[in-house]
Structures are given as C-alpha cells and as structure tokens.
Structure 1
C-alpha cells in the first residue's frame, strides 16, 4: 500500500508571512496542532502549537510576528508513492506524529499522520510508528 492511498489530501497551509496570531486561530478553528508552511505549493517549513509557545511567546514575540521567525525550516517529508511500511519506520525513527507528503516534483499533496496509519493501513504500520513515537514519553 502506498502513502497516497491513506494520506489526508485536504491540507491547511500557512504562508511564511502569516502571523503567529493567524496560525494560532487557524489551529484553534480547525482543531489541529500543526500546519505546513508553503509558498504556493512548495513546502518551506512547518509550525506546531509548541513552536508558537516555545519559540514565539516564550521568546517575547508578539502575535504579529511572522511565522517564518518561529517555524522549522528543516522539514521531514515523504513521497506519495512511498510504501507505508517504509513511512511508518521513518515516523518511528524520527519520533514524529505526521509527515507532509510530496509529489516527485516536490509539490505538497497531503499529510500522513499516525491516525492515518492506525485507521487506514495494516496494523503493523501503526504499531511500528506508535512504538517509535512513544519513546518520546518514556
């Protein structure tokens, strides 16, 4: 099974010049904890609710600060034609909960999350990924 078979295609995006306030509101309204940052359909970063707090508020930035000042610009990702077993191992190895999904032309086409592995993929994928991510809380 390939990532494209289980990924979420409807992805909310932020622009690098969106503000922390805009990001926080979008996360609140969509009940999500992270957002990819893109210029057009090119992935340039990723921001989490934790980034907003730890890199933003804790450092004294205001709600009007641009996302590019707090985002992670070294983003892990996978390709839509990757095998889900490989992606599950990658998620586990890197101890992340989700990965942006790119086309081979490096265009953002979706997100694959632990939840996708757990509900749409064979049990082994979710177990491997969850075991790796769970090491964070031990």
Structure 2
C-alpha cells in the first residue's frame, strides 16, 4: 500500500519567522506534538513540543522566540509513492514516530505517523509493530527529530 492512501493530508505548517508561542498554540489546536516548518514553499525544518521545552523554555527563551532559532533543520522525509513498509523501515532506522510526506517535486503533501500506518490494514499493523519495537529500543543518548 502506498503512503498517499493512508497519510494525513490536512497538515498545518509553521513559518520560521513565527514565534514559538504561535507554534505551540497551533500544536494545541490540532492536538499534535510537531509541525513542519516551510518557507518559500519548501520544507526547511521541523519543530516539536520537545524542541520548545528543551531548546527554548529550558534555556530561558520566551514565547516570542522565532521558530527558526529552535527548530530542527534536518528534515527526514519520505515520498507519497513509497510503500508503507519502506516508510516504517525509515522511521525505525531513524527512531522517529512521524515523518513529512513529499511528492517527487519535494513539496509537502502530508504527514505519516505510526498511528496512520497502524490503521492501514494487516500490512500496516505488521509494519507498525516492527517499527515501534525498533524505535523504542533503549541505548545511548535519546534523540528525537
């Protein structure tokens, strides 16, 4: 099954110039822990609730801090025409629970999460279980993209 058939297509996007306070309110509104960050129609980063807590609040940076100052600039992504098994494998290798989905022109078209994959029939349940078991392996410093 291709990602385009099970990904979340209604994606809220933050701007690098936006404040982290605005980004946090967007996350609250959509009940999500992360937002893709886009500028000039290109994905330039990701911001998570953990980024806000660890890179801003823990460093005494206020809600007016621009997203660009604390976002993760490394963007891990997959393509909409990939199989869910390939996306689950990437998520497992990178130890992440969600990923932006791009078309082949590298424009954001959705988000795929382990939850989305788990609802993709028996193939999704198998892929999700394997990915989750790899993502939750303990060892080394904790990293979240």
Q: Shorter-normalised TM-score: what interval?
A: over 0.9
2:131 alignment partner in structure 1? 129
Q: How far apart in 2 are the matches of 1:120 and 1:12?
A: 22
1:84 alignment partner in structure 2? 84
Q: How far apart in 2 are the matches of 1:2 and 1:40?
A: 27
**Deviation string, structure 1 residues 12-44 (Cα, Å, up to 9, x no partner):** 100000101101111112111100001143110
Q: Which runs of structure 1 show a deviation greater than 3 angstroms over 4 or more consecutive aligned residues?
A: none
- Tell me if structure 2 keeps the 8 A contact 1:95–1:136: no
Structure 2 gap segments, 5+ residues each:
140-145
- Tell me if structure 2 keeps the 8 A contact 1:2–1:83: yes
- Tell me if structure 2 keeps the 8 A contact 1:102–1:110: yes
Q: How far apart in 1 are the matches of 2:2 and 2:41?
A: 21
Matched, 1:30 2:22: no
TM-score (norm 2): 0.90
Secondary structure at the residue paired with 2:115? helix
Structure 1 gap segments, 5+ residues each:
none
Secondary structure at the residue paired with 2:133? helix
2:116 alignment partner in structure 1? 116
2:142 alignment partner in structure 1? none
After alignment, is 93-102 or 39-48 more displaced? 39-48
1:1-138 superposed matches below 5 A: 1-121=1-121, 122=123, 123-136=125-138
TM-score (norm 1): 0.94
